[in-house]
Amino acid sequence: MTGASSSFVAVRTEKPPALDASLSDAAWKNAIGAGDLEVITTQKPSSRPSRFLLLYDDTNLYVGMHLEQPGVPVTASQGANGVGFGLDDFAGIGVDPSANAGQVYFFMTTPRGTRYQQASESARYAPPWTAVATQTASGWSAMMVIPLSVLRTPSTAVQSWRFNFIRRCAAANENESWAYDPVMTDGGGGTNSFPQFADARFWPHLTELHVRPQVAKRRPPRAELYALTSVGDERRRFQDALGNFNATGARNMGADVVVPVTGTASFVGALAPDFSNVEIDQQTIAPQEFRRALSEYRPFFSQGANFFDPVSLNGINAPPNRIWYSPAIGPFDRGLKFEGTQGLQSFGVLEARGNGFDDDVFAIKHATPTRSFLWSFDGVLAHHAAGNDTQDPRAGVDQTWEGQIAGRNNYTGLLWSLDYAHEHGTFVPDDRLAYKSEDFVDVHKRNYEVYTGYRTVGPEYSPLLGYTQNADLRGPQIFVDVNGTLSPNGPIKRIELFLEADRATDGSGAVHQADANASVDLQLKNGLHLNGGPFVSELRTYDSGLVGYPYYAGGVTRSYNQHAFTAGWKDGTPAPTDATYSWGPFGDVYLQQIDLTAQRALGARWSVAGEIAGTRERARTGTADGQWLRRLTLGESIDANTNFSISLRSISGNGGFAVPGVNLAGSFHHRFKNDGELFLNYGTPAAYSTLQRVILKYVLRTGGGAGT
C-alpha cells in the first residue's frame, strides 16, 4: 500500500519485454514492483497476493501482473473488448500524466485478456493497445502494452506522473487499490463507482520519465469519417431534445476531427454529426416528481464533458442544478470545441449549431494537485430562433454564468465551497431574481461524512440550456453518512447509514420543498445485500404553475413519500438478482412500485439480462390504474472485436410515466484491425415502440482510436 506522499523513479527499458503473460522476460527484473493492495470495499488489507511490474520506453508503457486468489474462483466470462465491464475479474493501471488529477486514464484486462479502458476526458475512449493473459493454478497473470501516443501528456522532455495499480475480484465483489486513503470508497463493491478518477489525488508520483521530444510535443491528429445508409419506413426519424422521434434530414456522411494543439489540449470538430448512434435505453415507468436528468450519449458532447462541467456540487435528494445540460439540445449540424489542460488549469470552449440555434459554452478551472484550493468560472450563451431544435422552441437570447471557489484539507477532512450563478436575457423578466447560490461545508473522514449547506434559487432562475430541478427556494441542506465493517469475523461485510434532509421556503415564506431520507445499506459476506428506509417529500405548487412568484395564489402542498426496500443477491458479481418495492402517497395518488432485475452469463459467449417493473396508482376517489414494463436483453461476444445484442421491451397500461408500446432493437458491431468499425442496427432501444429502420454504418478512423 502507498499514498500521495510517495514517489518512484520510472524505469526505462532499452529492449521491450516479450509479449508474454508469464512475464518470463529478463527485462522485468529491473521493473518497478508493487504489491500489498488494500480492499477499498472493506477498508482492510487484501488477503489475495498481487504483484505489479512497470517499465517504459520511447513508445510504450509495459505493465506486468501476477495475481493470486486461492479459494476464490477466477471469473472470466466476457470475450468482447469493451463489453460487460465489471462482470469479470480485472486488474490494471491508472495513470495521470498531468499529475493533477486532470488527465486520468485506466487500462484494465481480465483473465481472458479482454480489454477495458477509461479516460476522464472522454466517455468514448477506445484507443488501440494490447493485453495478453493466462490463468495459473492459483490465479492468473497478464501483460499490457500501452502506447504513449494514446495519452495526453505534457510537452516536456522530462515528466512526473501519478500512477496506481488496481484489481477487482468479481466472485468476492471486492475492489482493491495499491494507493489508498481512508476516504476512498467504491460504494461497497460493484463497478458503478470503481475505479474513480478523483482518487488520482491519492496516487504516488512516477518521476524521471524521459519522453522523446516528438512524443512529448504532440499527439497525431485524429479523424473519424462515417458513411451510412438506411432503409425502412422510419429511416429518417431520430430523437429530438424532448425525447420524441421525428423526421429529420438524411445524414449519409460526416466527420469528427481532433487536432492536438499541445500535448494536453486539442481542437475538436464535428461536421454533420451522426445522430444515428444506438441510443441507450432510458425508458422508465416510475412517475417523476421533477424533470428527469438524462445521460448524454452523443460523441461530440460526451467526449470531453468534464471540461465543461467544472463545478463541484452535491445533488441533495435530486440531481444537482447545472447551467449546461447538453441533452437540452436536439440534432445539430456542426460542433466546434477547444479543450484540455495546461498546468493546474483545465478549460473548454464549445459551439454547437443546428436548426434555429447557435449556442456557446465556456469553462475554466484551476485546481491544486491535492484539491486544497480550486476556482472555476463557466458560462452558457444561447441564441435561438422560433421553432429551434432544443427543449425550448422560443426565440430569444439567454446567458448564464457561474463561479465557484472551494477547498479541502486532506488531513482534517474539511471541505468547503462557495458557488454563485446568474442568468439574464430575453426569457428573464427580472434579472435581479435570476440567480442561485449553493454553499456548503463538509467533513469527510474514514467512516463518516457530515455535509451542511445552504441553497438559494431565485424565482426567475432557469437557464435555457441548463438543468434546474426547482426554483424559488431558500433553505438549508444536510446529510450524514456513517459506514464501516464492524467485527472482522462477523457476517457483515459492510454497513452504511445515510441521513439526508433539505427544507426550502419560497418568496411568500411558505415551505416550497422539503425532503427527508433515511436509509440503511447492509452487505453480508454470504452475498446478501439489503437496503431500505423512508423517504418523505412535500412540494408546494400554485395556480400559476410550480413557481408561484409573484402572486403565490392557490397554493397546494402535496406529499411525495416513497418508502423503499431492496433485497439483492450477489450484487456486483456476474450473476446479480435484485428486487425493490416502494410505496407511499405521490401527489394526488397512492403509488406502489415493484422492480425485479437479474443478469446471467450463458456459457463463455452469451449473456442475458431481464427486468420486470410495475406501478399501481390509486386515486383518492378509489379508482386505480397501473403500468408494467418488461425488458429482456440477449448479448453475444462473438470474438474479441465483435459483439451482437438484441433487446425487447414492452410497456403496457396507462398508470405510469411512459407511453405504452413494444420495442424490438438489435445491434451488431465489429472492429477491424485498422481500427475502423462496422455497425448494423435495427431500430433503437430509446424509442417507445419499434422503429422500422435498419442502419448500416462504417467508421474509418485515422490517427488514433475513438476518444483519444
Is the confidence at residue 470, as pLDDT, over 70?
A: yes
Which residue type occupies 396? Answer: G
User: Taking residues 370-386, what's their average pLDDT?
Assistant: 93
pLDDT digit string, tens, across residues 4-41: 889 999 999 999 999 999 999 999 999 999 989 999 98
pLDDT of residue 192: 62
Return the percent helix, strand and coil in the chain, to nearest 5: 5, 50, 45
Of 677, 708, 705, 703, which is closest to residue 277 (Cα–Cα)? Answer: 677
User: Taking residues 591-596, what's their average pLDDT?
Assistant: 95
- Calpha distance 198→574 (Å, rounded): 26
Residues 598, 616: contact at Cβ < 8 Å?
A: no
Is the confidence at residue 528, as pLDDT, over 50?
A: yes
Is the confidence at residue 407, as pLDDT, over 90?
A: yes
Full DSSP string of 411-473: TTTEEEEEEEEEEEETT-S-GGG-EEEEEEEEEE-SSEEEEEEEEEE-TT---TTSB-S--SE
Is the confidence at residue 703, as pLDDT, over 90?
A: no
pLDDT of residue 216: 47
- Calpha distance 654→616 (Å, rounded): 10
- Calpha distance 249→406 (Å, rounded): 46
Higher pLDDT, 280 or 238: 238
pLDDT of residue 279: 65
Strand arrangement of the beta sheet that strand 50-56 belongs to: 32-34, 50-56, 60-68, 139-147, 130-135
Contacts of 141 (CB under 8 A, 6+ apart): 21, 22, 23, 64, 65, 66, 67, 133, 134
Worst-scoring range by mean pLDDT, 240-254, 453-467, 614-628? 240-254
DSSP H or E segment with residue 213:
helix 213-217
pTM of the model: 0.88
Q: Which domains does the chain have, with CATH numbers?
A: 7-217 (2.60.40.1190)
- Write phi, then psi, for 192 (nearest 5 degrees): -65, -25
Higher pLDDT, 89 or 293: 89
pLDDT digit string, tens, across residues 638-663: 999 999 999 999 999 988 888 899 99
Of 259, 261, 256, which is closest to residue 277 (Cα–Cα)? Answer: 256
Is the confidence at residue 190, as pLDDT, over 80?
A: no
Is the confidence at residue 349, as pLDDT, over 80?
A: yes
Is the confidence at residue 598, as pLDDT, over 70?
A: yes
DSSP H or E segment with residue 301:
helix 299-302
Give the residue carrying C-alpha cell 470503481: 194
Q: SS3 of 493, please?
A: strand
Q: Which residues of 326-339 are buried (b: 16+ CB within 10 A; e: fewer)?
A: bbbbbbbbbbbbbb
Contacts of 13 (CB under 8 A, 6+ apart): 27, 30, 31, 55, 56, 57, 62
Distance of CA 275 to the CA centre of its chain: 20
Q: Is 664 exposed, middle or buried (0-12, 13-18, 19+ CB in 10 A)?
A: middle
Which residue type occupies 493? Answer: K
Is the confidence at residue 394, as pLDDT, over 70?
A: yes
- 161 pLDDT tier (thresholds 50, 70, 90): very high
- Calpha distance 151→218 (Å, rounded): 10
| Mean of per-residue pLDDT scores for the chain | 89
- Dihedral sign for Cα 178, 181, 186, 191, please: negative
pLDDT digit string, tens, across residues 568-588: 998 888 889 999 999 999 988
Higher pLDDT, 358 or 299: 358
- Write phi, then psi, for 283 (nearest 5 degrees): -70, 140
- Per-residue cell: 133: 493473459
pLDDT of residue 101: 67
Is the confidence at residue 547, as pLDDT, over 80?
A: no
- Calpha distance 405→417 (Å, rounded): 6
Higher pLDDT, 263 or 430: 430
pLDDT of residue 285: 67
pLDDT digit string, tens, across residues 209-259: 987 655 545 567 888 899 988 888 888 887 777 777 777 777 788 998 988
- Calpha distance 348→360 (Å, rounded): 11
